[in-house]
A = this chain, B = another copy of it.
């Protein structure tokens, strides 16, 4: 997998400890790629063993156990090699689609509340991305290559959330045509 390469990319941007990486993966990076701290520690240990990264005690005079990881030349080379490999398209694999199929197969299951919850979550995320965009990419012409690529990545999230917001709104209309009855009233046709 590529968690190791995601971590190295993050370390190239800024040398960090496992703990810091875990927090970054919960926040900005985590909007596009999530990982638990256990995954991260495990992967850091492997990468150090492989000679891709090296750690040293944090420059705090030994007051904490904190380790600072930095990418070695071998790691940089590996990242370049890997980046040129073809990347698999991610598949959708959305559990909610399975639920919709089940709803179609065995009758109204009362999915509207869940759909509303999801719509709300997507709207929240969209607003967060729009705020990022306004803050970090205010002008259009004067950006560096690096900034333009980071903007491109952010636009993936914007595109994604915009699409889901529209889709949820449409789905609510479709479900509303049938779910005038409450979920409690549903009976299994095969029962």
Contacts and interface: CB of A to CB of B under 8 A. Distances in A.
The interface residues of chain A, by DSSP majority, are classed as helix
A148 B177 CA distance: 10
Contact-residue size bin, chain A (C-beta under 8 Å from the other chain)? 35 or more
A160 B157 contact: no
A92 B32 contact: yes
A110 interface: yes
A46 interface: no
A105 interface: yes
Interface stretch (A5-13, A57-65, A132-140): A5-13
B99 A80 contact: no
Contacts of A9: 98, 101-102, 105
A123 to B, nearest CB: 12
B109 A80 contact: yes
Given A149-B103, A153-B97, A170-B152, A87 B73 contact: no
10 contacts: A5-B102, A6-B101, A12-B105, A33-B97, A79-B102, A80-B188, A94-B156, A100-B149, A104-B146, A159-B163
